[in-house]
Amino acid sequence: MDKKVIASVLDDLGALMELLGENPFKVRAILHAARAVETFTGDLKQLADEGRLTEIKGVGESIAGKINALLNTGSLPELEELKSKIPAGVFEMLKIPGLGPKRAKALWQNLGVTTVRELEYACNENRLLELDGFGAKSQENILKGINTLHKFAGRRLLSEGMGAVEPLIEWVRESPAVIRAQIAGSVRRGLETVKDIDIVASSADPESVMERFVAAPGVIDIIARGHTKTSVRLESGFQADIRVVTDEQFPFALHHFTGSREHNTLMRSLAKTMGLKMNEYGLFKGEHSLNLASEEEIFKALGLSYIPPEMREGFDEVTLAGEGKIPTLIEEADIIGLFHVHTDKSDGVDTLEVMAQEAIRLGYKYMGISDHSKSAAYAGGLSVDSLKRQVR
C-alpha cells in the first residue's frame, strides 16, 4: 500500500470521526498526519520496519500504529467500525465538492438524507432552506457539486494518475524486450481528471512484456490478458492497460491511444481527403503503411505542424496545425510563483522559512501564504494574534 493510499485512508478516517462528532483535536491530528504522509519523500515502509514512523512530523504513536496496520494488513479495523455507524450513502456524500462532514452530518440527522440521490431531491424541493446554516446559495452550490460528481464519476485528479503511472512506465521500460514505451491516454493529454492509465510499448517479444507488466509492484489483480493488450488493477485503484505493438506501428499506436475519440476522427478525416487511411497500426497509401518513425513525422506527412498531446481533444487543433498556428503551451519552467500555500502554522507540513528557501531554490519570484483563518479551527486556522506573529 503506497503513501497516497494511506493518506487517503487517514483522510477518510478523519472525515468519519468528524461526522460522528469526535474530538476535533483528534480529527485535526489525523488530517495533519495524512498530509505529512502524502508529502513524505522517503521510504515509508522502511521507516515503519525500523520503528521510526514518529520521526515524520505530525505522526504520533497512535497514528503510527494505524499506518503500520495499513502497511501490514492493507486494512484498518477502526475505519470499518466507524463506517458501520453511518449509512454508506452519507460517506459517499462527502465526495460532493464543497460539502464537508459538518454539513453532511446536519443533512443526515436533521433531514434524514442518506444518499447523494436523496440530497439531490431535497435540493430540488428546496428542503435545505429549512435548515440552520443553509440558504439558497448553499443549496445551489450543493446541486452544482452533485452535477460535478455525476459528471466526473470514477475519475480522479491528474496528479493521482501521474503518481500511479510513473513507476509503472519505468518498470515497463526496464524490460530488455521493450524497444519503446510511453504513457498515453488522458494522462498524457494532461486532463484535470483521469479514469484509467494507458501505456503503449513496442517489442518483438510481446509475451515477455506482458509477463513483466502483470508482475509490476502495486498490481493486485489481472483483469484481462491477451497477446497485444493486458489490463490490471493497481493498489491505487486505477485500472492500467498496456498495448504492445511492433516498433514500426509504435508511433501510430501512441498517437491513436493518446488522442481523444474526436481528435482521432478529425485526423482520419484529413487523411481520407489526401487519399490515405489512418488507424492505430499505420498511415496507409493503398495497402502499404508509410514508414514514419515518430508522431512528428505523422503530422508532417499530413501537412500539419506537431500537435502537443494536451491539445488533442477534437476542437480546432487540426485546423490550427494546418495553418502553422499551434500556440506555445505553458511549461513548468514558465511558472514563476505560487499564490496558494499553507505552512505548518495551519495544516501545512513545513515552516515558512523552509518553504521560502524552497521557493528560492525553484527560482520563483513570489510565494503567497494563505494559511487558514480562525474560522477553520478544524484545519488549525490562525487566530488574529497568531497571524500577527506570523507576519512579523
What's the confidence (pLDDT) of residue 301?
97
What's the confidence (pLDDT) of residue 345?
87
Least Cα distance to 37 among 5, 73, 79 occurs for: 5
Parallel/antiparallel/unpaired status of strands 277-279 and 282-285: antiparallel
- CATH 3.30.460.10 intervals, the chain: 157-247
- What does the pLDDT average to over 125-142? 89
Cα–Cα distance, 52 to 348 (Å, whole number):
21
- What does the pLDDT average to over 28-40? 88
For the 157-247 domain, the top CATH level (class) is alpha beta
What's the confidence (pLDDT) of residue 102?
87
Cα–Cα distance, 149 to 94 (Å, whole number):
10
% of the chain with per-residue pLDDT over 90:
66
With 80 as the cut, is the pLDDT of residue 377 above it? no
- Sequence-distant (6+) residues with CB within 8 A of 361 are none
Q: What is the four-CA torsion angle of 45, 34, 241, 262, rounded to 10 degrees?
A: -160
Give domain 3-151's CATH number out of 1.20.140.150, 3.30.56.10, 3.40.50.720, 1.10.150.110. 1.10.150.110
Q: Considering the chain, what is the average pLDDT of its residues?
A: 92
What's the confidence (pLDDT) of residue 232?
95
- CATH 3.30.210.10 intervals, the chain: 255-322
Q: List the beta strands (DSSP E) in 235-387.
A: 239-245, 277-279, 282-285, 288-289, 337-341, 366-369
Rg (CA), the chain: 25
Q: What DSSP designation does 87 have?
A: -
Q: How many other β-carbons are positioned within 10 Å of the β-carbon of residue 83?
A: 15
Parallel/antiparallel/unpaired status of strands 366-369 and 337-341: parallel
Sequence letter at residue 260? S
Quick check: 197 and 164 in contact, CB under 8 A?
Answer: yes
Quick check: 241 and 191 in contact, CB under 8 A?
Answer: no
CATH 3.30.210.10, applies to 255-322: yes
Output the nine-digit C-alpha cell for 94: 462527502
CA angle 47, 50, 2 (to 5 degrees): 30
What's the confidence (pLDDT) of residue 53?
92
Cα–Cα distance, 38 to 347 (Å, whole number):
13
- CATH 1.10.150.110 intervals, the chain: 3-151
What's the confidence (pLDDT) of residue 38?
86
Place of cell 498531446: 309
Q: What are phi and psi of 16, to 5 degrees?
A: -65, -40
% of the chain with per-residue pLDDT over 70:
99
Could you report the per-residue pLDDT of 174-193, keeping only the tens digit for each? 999 999 999 999 999 999 99
With 80 as the cut, is the pLDDT of residue 376 above it? no
Could you report the per-residue pLDDT of 198-232, keeping only the tens digit for each? 999 999 999 999 999 999 998 989 999 999 999 99
Cα–Cα distance, 229 to 240 (Å, whole number):
10
Enumerate the H helices of 20-60 as residue ranges. 24-39, 44-49
- What does the pLDDT average to over 101-116? 90
- What does the pLDDT average to over 59-86? 90
With 90 as the cut, is the pLDDT of residue 375 above it? no
Cα–Cα distance, 56 to 42 (Å, whole number):
10
Cα–Cα distance, 174 to 202 (Å, whole number):
13
With 90 as the cut, is the pLDDT of residue 166 above it? yes
For the chain, counts of helices (H) and of strands (E): 18, 12
With 70 as the cut, is the pLDDT of residue 350 above it? yes
What's the confidence (pLDDT) of residue 325?
97
- What does the pLDDT average to over 83-97? 88
Could you report the per-residue pLDDT of 277-310, keeping only the tens digit for each? 999 999 999 999 999 999 999 999 999 999 999 9
- Sequence-distant (6+) residues with CB within 8 A of 337 are 359, 364, 365, 366, 367, 368
- The β-bridge partners of 184 are 198
Could you report the per-residue pLDDT of 314-348, keeping only the tens digit for each? 999 999 999 999 999 999 889 999 999 999 888 88
Least Cα distance to 6 among 79, 88, 115, 86 occurs for: 79
Lowest mean pLDDT among 160-164, 234-238, 354-358: 234-238
What's the confidence (pLDDT) of residue 378?
63
What's the confidence (pLDDT) of residue 120?
92
Least Cα distance to 295 among 310, 308, 314 occurs for: 308
CA angle 115, 116, 122 (to 5 degrees): 90
With 90 as the cut, is the pLDDT of residue 100 above it? no
- What does the pLDDT average to over 112-121? 92
